Amino acid sequence: MSNHYCLGRIDFGVGSSAFWCLDRPGTLVVFLHGFTGAAEATWHNASAYIRRDALFSAADVLFLGYDSVRSRARVISRSVLDLFRRLLAEPAEFSNRYIYYGPKREPFLYDRVVVVAHSPGGAIMRQVALDLARAADAYADHIQLLLYAPAHKGSNALHNAGGVMQGHGILAALRCGLLYKAPILEDLRPKSEFIRDVEAGTLARLTRGRLRCLVATKITIGQYENIVEPGDFAQDPPFYTVDRRNHTDVCKSDAGYRRVLDDIEECLR
């Protein structure tokens, strides 16, 4: 028996959806996909497991989707930040807009927020966390980050697509075309302005005191990672490596691989 209402759409980005729990929620779990990903499909069978798992019975679960190709990283992060502020300030009012069956919720606040992010989603959430910390948002010390192959140190995608080719000719034209259609790749280039600003800003804010949202709870990298730079970020703990997993499947849950679900459950206990 499910502990949640049926998966329903929410008004954010592209294909975003939510499981609202039947009882008063204590936790909000948010999934944020990566480049060319999808709100729910990126995480494979995670939604099916969540509905059957008793540990999620007191958790609202959001799968956020956004245009990860044509939008810029700062634009996406601002949209996510605005959503977080609206949702976390008045979670009952926000969720009641989408709960069509059963009683409406009375006002409440979440005890904690667990954000699960992949690839560019990790870098984007870093910017969101930094903005919340700078604004002394009440939830800044209640947010835990679980990051999978995060691009917070930059991505090699542009390099792998031929971005190292300089000069004139067909290759240069292809590079320009790629950046025109996917400008976020420039934002995620190692040592880009966006990447440098997020880490430098995080380190600067940490000098004023440690906040949970600024230090990832866990970072996981696949053994065969070849898209993002796997370096250490700010004051994060060392990242974990998963054998025989690559950039794409390190975040996908199935019968033989429960790393993402196990990590979330550890936060919920």
In three-state form (DSSP H/G/I as H, E/B as E, the rest C), the secondary structure along 79-138 is HHHHHHHHHHHCHHHHHHCCCCCCCCCCCCCCCEEEEEEECHHHHHHHHHHHHHHHCCCC
241, HSE (Cβ side, Cα atoms, 13 Å): 8
* 3-state SS assignment for residue 20: coil
Output the pLDDT for position 254. 86
Output the pLDDT for position 178. 52
pLDDT level of residue 52 (50, 70, 90 thresholds): confident
Residue reference for tokens 């950046």: 179
- pLDDT of residue 56 exceeding 60: yes
- pLDDT of residue 71 exceeding 60: yes
- What value does the mean pLDDT of the chain take? 90
What is d(CA 131, CA 194) in angstroms, rounded to the nearest whole number?
14
What is d(CA 2, CA 96) in angstroms, rounded to the nearest whole number?
19
Output the pLDDT for position 160. 58
204, HSE (Cβ side, Cα atoms, 13 Å): 9
Give the residue among 39, 33, 62 at the shortest CA–CA distance from 122.
33
Give the residue among 87, 82, 76, 231 at the shortest CA–CA distance from 147.
231
- pLDDT of residue 163 exceeding 50: no
For 187-202, the pLDDT digits (tens) are 999 999 999 999 999 9
Mean pLDDT of 99-119: 94
Output the pLDDT for position 164. 43
- pLDDT of residue 12 exceeding 50: yes
- pLDDT of residue 227 exceeding 80: yes
Give the residue among 247, 252, 254, 231 at the shortest CA–CA distance from 31.
252
